[in-house]
């Protein structure tokens, strides 16, 4: 993918304390079991109480994160709203399926149906911010957020001044059980802080919302530059290796130019071999995982981007989130993000310091 963009605003609601406070001092939230849930912020600061009562969890998460990202950017109303979600509002979907059965298809409340629509969050943001321009929602598992990012890069190249780009997914107890039946999760309970010590079939589940305001040109407020994006569908290990070389070569870079790899590894022995294979491509680059922070879900890559952007801006890793790590890189101007979702959708994202010193 050609084209670059700059992160001008960012916000995230995740199983960690990411929504408010200082990233570098907020403690690691751990030990909650195999289903990580978000730390709920005070939604009332963003959404009027009478609206809040009608909204389900994912809608609250999505809308609030979007509003905070816009606020953080200090920019005017965005010229486009582009999002990704793997599952949409599970709570509403589950409720409507049950209502149909319980009430035998009669006198149903339409609200869960309306809110189960995958573009419901986008519609709410548009109404709230009066954004009457481009609006799109991608729903493709581990490419959901990354497709939204690609669409945003196209929009910026087409002349849109700045986009609101984000992702949101929730997990419910019912859906956790459903996915456990096809082996998505570890059978033994693990502490997320020790996720990588438990290489066994399955991982831990997560959820979260992450939003960004993206612009074509940098400002002093830029977090970082998204310099490249590559999605690969069901690649072979050899294809992955070749794609990485081509991806870096497009930027006139080699792996030696990368200061940090943010890796999506998640302790799942069924799909660990992709990460092991790629480790050989960056043997001497410092590497940090992120799934112990957010759990596994379709749009976890959006959280990784949020984390990477903050690391670049702070020039520092939130070390308290890495009790198992002994050394951290000093200078962090380029981060390579590599993630895949249960082996099918693989993504590389290159993040750079907004203004590379000496460049």
Instruction: Please report, as ranges, the residues that interact with other proteins according to CB under 8 A.
Output: 1-3, 81, 86-88, 96-97, 100-101, 104-106, 108-110, 113-114, 116-120, 122-124, 126-127, 129-141, 143-144, 147, 150-151, 154, 157-158, 174, 177-179, 181-182, 231, 233-234, 344
Closer Cβ to other proteins, 108 or 193, answer by number = 108
Minimum CB separation of residue 109 from other proteins in Å reads: 7
Closer Cβ to other proteins, 32 or 139, answer by number = 139
Whether the Cβ atoms of residue 304 and residue 226 lie closer than 8 Å to each other: no
Minimum CB separation of residue 56 from other proteins in Å reads: 13
Q: HSE of 129 in the Cβ direction (CA atoms, 13 Å)?
A: 29
Closer Cβ to other proteins, 170 or 259, answer by number = 170
Minimum CB separation of residue 11 from other proteins in Å reads: 21
Determine how β-strand 134-138 pairs with β-strand 80-84. Answer: parallel
Closer Cβ to other proteins, 132 or 327, answer by number = 132
Closer Cβ to other proteins, 126 or 253, answer by number = 126
Minimum CB separation of residue 276 from other proteins in Å reads: 23
Closer Cβ to other proteins, 179 or 198, answer by number = 179
Minimum CB separation of residue 54 from other proteins in Å reads: 10
Minimum CB separation of residue 344 from other proteins in Å reads: 7
Structure tokens at 221: 């407020």
């Amino acid at each position: 993918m050609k084209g670059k963009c700059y992160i001008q605003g960012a916000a995230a609601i995740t199983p960690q304390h990411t929504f408010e406070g200082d990233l570098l001092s907020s403690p690691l939230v751990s030990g909650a079991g195999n289903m990580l849930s978000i730390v709920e912020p005070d939604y009332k600061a963003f959404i009027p109480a009478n609206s809040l009562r009608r909204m389900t969890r994912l809608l609250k998460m999505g809308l609030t994160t979007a509003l905070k990202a816009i606020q953080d950017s200090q920019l005017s109303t965005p010229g486009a709203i582009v999002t990704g979600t793997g599952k949409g509002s599970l709570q509403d979907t589950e409720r409507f399926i049950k209502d149909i059965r319980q009430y035998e298809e009669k006198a149903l409340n339409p609200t869960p149906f309306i809110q189960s629509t995958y573009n419901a969050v986008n519609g709410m943001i548009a109404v709230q911010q009066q954004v009457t321009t481009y609006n799109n929602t991608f729903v493709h598992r581990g490419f959901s957020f990354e497709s939204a990012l690609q669409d945003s890069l196209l929009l910026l190249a087409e002349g849109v001044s700045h986009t609101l780009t984000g992702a949101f997914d929730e997990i419910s107890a019912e859906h956790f059980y459903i996915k456990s039946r096809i082996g998505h999760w570890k059978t033994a309970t693990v502490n997320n802080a020790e996720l990588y010590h438990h290489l066994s079939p399955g991982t831990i589940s997560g959820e979260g919302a992450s939003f960004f305001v993206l612009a074509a040109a940098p400002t002093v407020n830029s977090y970082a530059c998204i310099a490249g994006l590559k999605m690969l569908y069901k690649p072979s290990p050899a294809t992955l290796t070749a794609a990485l070389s081509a991806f870096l070569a497009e930027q006139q870079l080699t792996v030696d130019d990368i200061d940090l790899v943010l890796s999506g590894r998640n302790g799942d022995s069924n799909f660990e071999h992709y990460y092991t294979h790629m480790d050989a491509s960056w043997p001497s680059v410092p590497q940090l995982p992120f799934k112990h922070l957010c759990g596994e879900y379709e749009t976890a890559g959006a959280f990784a981007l949020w984390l990477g952007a903050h690391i670049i801006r702070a020039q520092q890793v939130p070390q308290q989130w890495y009790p198992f790590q002994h050394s951290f890189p000093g200078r962090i101007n380029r981060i390579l993000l590599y993630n895949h979702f249960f082996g099918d959708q693989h993504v590389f994202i290159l993040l750079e310091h907004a203004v590379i010193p000496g460049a």
